[in-house]
């Protein structure tokens, strides 16, 4: 059985941070609101908090989607546009403007030479499927596991169990989980006994109780580590 690589999508392979900012700017323009640079920081704070609540199963996905922009606009003091209508505009932009992180496509090409690659992603199904179709990501990997379609979000055991059960011959000893999120990717790997690589180019702080086997800030580092592992 070749090595299996479970690779996160957003901010591991795909530039979600950059596209998110562009989508926000475009959304504000479409609804006739002036954009201010500090709005991005506020959005990321609100959005990250809600996604972490979802990972801890404190809220549902529908609650996240329904509340996200209501909370965001309230934090900005904007009342002339509803959160529901703003979310629809933003999600539409988000679903149509994906791109790889610099060097990610080349990394993916090299990764496939070392084993079988599967994408593991939290996200809204129609958004992710639209983005992946535009990039033809399905043709680049063995399979893609989208949390909304599975019914569980990373790092839930239900998500990991589903992924493992749908990879023929899967063995934790010959698997590596690669992702940028400690709370989603690395925790899921830890809980399943899978070796993990934390992709951390933005220099995020570690979270207590979640320990990756490796921490890297570049694709070249990931490949160096994996080549040593595969060659053992």
Between strands 195-199 and 115-121, the pairing is unpaired
Residues 108 and 7 in one domain: yes
**pTM above threshold 0.75:** yes
Positions in the chain short of pLDDT 70: none
Final residue of a structural domain among 94, 111, 134 = 94
Final residue of a structural domain among 94, 129, 153 = 94
Residues 184 and 160 in one domain: yes
Which pLDDT score is estimated for 1?
Answer: 76
Which pLDDT score is estimated for 188?
Answer: 97
User: Any bridge partners for residue 5, and if so which?
Assistant: 117, 176
Final residue of a structural domain among 48, 76, 94 = 94
8 belongs to the catalytic site? yes
Residue pair 148/125 in contact by the 8 Å Cβ criterion: yes
Domain that holds residue 109: 3-15+100-231
Residues 152 and 222 in one domain: yes
- Residue 12 in tokens: 């591991």
d(CA 93, CA 82) in angstroms, rounded, equals 17
Residues 187 and 120 in one domain: yes
Which pLDDT score is estimated for 66?
Answer: 86
Residues 113 and 178 in one domain: yes
Between strands 143-146 and 175-179, the pairing is unpaired
| CATH label of the domain that carries residue 40 | 1.10.150.240
Residues 83 and 121 in one domain: no
d(CA 166, CA 6) in angstroms, rounded, equals 12
Residues 120 and 52 in one domain: no
161: nearest Cα among 191, 141, 131, 135: 191
d(CA 82, CA 86) in angstroms, rounded, equals 6
Which pLDDT score is estimated for 61?
Answer: 87
Residue pair 63/87 in contact by the 8 Å Cβ criterion: no
Residues 188 and 121 in one domain: yes
Residues 105 and 192 in one domain: yes
161: nearest Cα among 124, 188, 198: 188
| CATH label of the domain that carries residue 151 | 3.40.50.1000
DSSP string for 66-121: HHHHHHHHHHHT--SS-HHHHHHHHHHHHTT---BPTTHHHHHHHHTTTEEEEEEE
Residues 71 and 130 in one domain: no
pLDDT digit string, tens, across residues 27-58? 999 999 999 999 999 999 999 999 999 988 89
Region class of 19: left (phi > 0), else alpha (psi between -120 and 50), else beta: alpha
Number of domains in the chain: 2
Residue pair 213/192 in contact by the 8 Å Cβ criterion: no
Which pLDDT score is estimated for 117?
Answer: 98
Q: How many CB atoms are closer than 10 A to CB 43? A: 21
Residues 136 and 203 in one domain: yes
Which pLDDT score is estimated for 24?
Answer: 95
Q: Collapsing DSSP states into helix, strand and coil, what is residue 213?
A: coil
Which residue among the candidates 8, 15, 153, 185 is catalytic per the annotation?
8
Residues 61 and 150 in one domain: no
Region class of 123: left (phi > 0), else alpha (psi between -120 and 50), else beta: left
């Amino acid at each position: 059985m070749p090595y299996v690589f479970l690779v996160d999508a957003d901010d591991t392979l795909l530039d979600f941070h950059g596209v998110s900012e562009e989508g926000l700017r475009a959304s504000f323009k479409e609804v006739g609101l002036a954009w201010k640079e500090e709005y991005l920081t506020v959005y990321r704070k609100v959005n990250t908090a809600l996604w972490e609540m979802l990972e801890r199963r404190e809220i549902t996905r529908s609650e996240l989607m329904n509340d996200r922009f209501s909370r965001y606009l309230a934090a900005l003091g904007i009342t002339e546009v509803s959160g529901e209508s703003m979310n629809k505009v933003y999600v539409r932009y988000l679903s149509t403007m994906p791109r790889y992180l610099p060097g990610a496509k080349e990394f993916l090409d090299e990764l496939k030479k070392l084993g079988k690659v599967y994408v593991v992603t939290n996200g809204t199904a129609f958004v992710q499927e639209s983005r992946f179709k535009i990039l033809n990501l399905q043709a680049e990997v063995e399979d893609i596991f989208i949390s909304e379609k599975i019914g569980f979000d990373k790092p839930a055991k239900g998500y990991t169990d589903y992924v493992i059960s749908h990879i023929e011959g899967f063995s934790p000893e010959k698997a590596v989980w690669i992702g940028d999120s400690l709370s989603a990717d690395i925790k899921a790997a830890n809980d399943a006994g899978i070796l993990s690589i934390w992709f951390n180019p933005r220099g995020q702080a570690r979270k207590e109780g979640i320990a990756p086997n490796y921490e890297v800030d570049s694709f070249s580092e990931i490949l160096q580590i994996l080549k040593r592992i595969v060659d053992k």
